[in-house]
Chains A and B, each alone.
Chain A
Amino acid sequence: MTMKKKTLLVFLFFLLAAPLARGEGISVKDPWVRQNPPGTSVTAAYMVIENPGPDDELVEISCGCSREASLHVIEMKEDSDSMAMREVASMAVPSGASLALSPGGPHVMLMGLSGDIKESVVLELRFRSGARISVKAPVLSPRAAQKRTHPH
């Protein structure tokens, strides 16, 4: 075998083995929750959902910290230069792709907080495939949130 062919085989091996090595499952990276300002009982949670496996869909999210947790997308109203949030029943997480929930974009909205949130909250995610993931999301103050989303 020539050197070139060997390199190619090794490359192919890693390409095929990569999903197996990663456990093939959906995973959640960098979850965080915005600390609710005093006097308010709504906030939002953010994270990156990575899917090395087949196409899947986030269908439900819940948090013991709030009465309601829903999936929201943001839409611009072109006619009035204003913006609205719209609740969606699910969010697609295509195979080999990631879904980023971030400030000003798709997010998890937490309504009816049972009290001021501190330190961290636990979010439960359920996917169409049946996969369930539980993540601990740290609660970030406005300054910490700025640092997270706009690192210098």
Chain B
Amino acid sequence: MKRYYLPVAALIVIALVWISVLGFLRSGEAEFYGDSYSRPAFDFSLTDHRNRKFSLSDHTGKVVLLNFGFTNCPDICPTTLGMLGEVLDLVGDNRAMAIFITVDPERDTVSRLGDYIPFFHDRIVGLTGPEQAIKRINDACGTLYSKEQEASEDDYLVIHSPAVYLVGPGGEILLRYPKEKLHPEKIADDVKRLLL
């Protein structure tokens, strides 16, 4: 019995070393924090909050964090914009950008976005434009938005996606962060990795 003790122990040690080596190698190619969401490259043109034309294709090579909202939104939109501002600070690279696309172009004019957006961060871009264009971007992201029925004429809210979509350097939507994954440090880590 005793004669087998040493070889068996040696085998166990070797096995453990291999397991940790393999584990280490796999952690090197760890998954992204965001949910993988590969959608084909797409493009759109809207007007930014400084009244300039904005085309997604003009920003190829950058990582773009895209989010939908409206300025009359009391809770989730400002929460997400504050979070995105923190992501931009954490990444600290001007190849990372965040865009806020209004789902309420009727009220969210260029000048309204011009007042609203810089309050959160000077590198967040607010975008507005024709209803059709905004609908197409929602389609590309696989989401819908709609005006809330019960509210009054000018006090309505807009139901929309709370998620943040990450557009990779090639212009394709790579990752999606649902509401429960809006964690600034972890999103910043994904962005940094894509910009390496």
Q: How far is the CA of A38 from the CA of B159 in the complex (A)?
A: 22
Scoring B residues 82 to 116 as 1 if CB is less than 8 Å from chain A, else 0, what string do you get? 11011000000000000000000000000010011
Q: A82: CB under 8 A from chain B? A: yes
Q: Tell me if B72 is interfacial: C-beta within 8 Å of chain A.
A: yes
Residue A103 is within 8 A (CB to CB) of chain B in the complex: yes
Check if A74 is an interface residue, CB within 8 A of chain B: yes
Cβ-neighbour of A104 out of B79, B148, B160 (below 8 A): B79
Q: Is A143 within 8 A of B85, CB to CB?
A: yes
Determine whether B56 belongs to the interface, using a CB cutoff of 8 Å to chain A.
no
Taking beta carbons and an 8 Å cutoff, which residues of B are in contact with A? 71-76, 78-79, 81-83, 85-86, 112, 115-116, 119-121, 142-146, 148, 155, 157, 159-163, 179, 182-184
Sample of 20 more A-B contacts, CB < 8 Å, known A42-B72, A82-B146: A37-B78, A38-B115, A39-B71, A74-B76, A80-B144, A81-B163, A82-B143, A82-B161, A82-B162, A83-B162, A83-B179, A103-B75, A104-B76, A104-B79, A104-B162, A142-B120, A146-B184, A150-B86, A150-B183, A150-B184
Q: Can you list the 4 inter-chain pairs with the closest CB atoms, starting with the nearest?
A: A80-B144, A142-B82, A39-B115, A103-B79
